[in-house]
Homo-oligomer: A and B are copies of this chain.
């Protein structure tokens, strides 16, 4: 990795761990093993570097979710594969946690990739639910509302897990939404 890449990857790690407010330029430089001059050679400041980091994280998240949701199997199996993917549950969601950061939410530039990621995910899940309905699954459900519930369950599952310091709450919430999705009316 070159210095620019190391700065972006360090910022991704620190944003995940400490959020935007808790991540100082100095901490990024130390984590990346880069000097102050080097950081400001590549980026105008912390906001520009954070934007590059958030965009890279959002891209990785979409690529992985799309692979699971576009994989083989029935719609319900693809949603289950997405929900059951191995995750660092106690670290929470790299994108979702940014919504608790007043400085990120107060910046239209930094909020944009967060909003776009959730919009993309909700639309993709609604498409998969609509595909399932064509095959007789998810009878009587509204695809957009159900997709929002699935995304919210994941995000809230992280909250439950972090509150207790254990993954059980996340796993229970995912189990519950899958049961709700597949029971037949």
Contacts and interface: CB of A to CB of B under 8 A. Distances in A.
Interface of A: 17-19, 21-22, 92-93, 96-97, 99-102, 105, 111, 114-115, 117-119, 122, 139-142, 144-160, 162-165, 169-170, 172-173, 175-177, 179-181, 183-185
A55 to B, nearest CB: 15
Contacts of A179: 140-142, 145-146
Contact of A160 (B101, B139, B148): B148
A152 B185 CA distance: 23
Count of identical protomers in the assembly:
2
Contacts of A177: 149, 152-153, 177, 180
A86 B82 CA distance: 32
A150 to B, nearest CB: 8
Given A151-B156, A152-B159, A156-B151, A100 B19 contact: yes
A173 B145 contact: yes
Nearest to A21: B22
Nearest to A162: B99
A47 B147 CA distance: 39
B152 A160 contact: yes
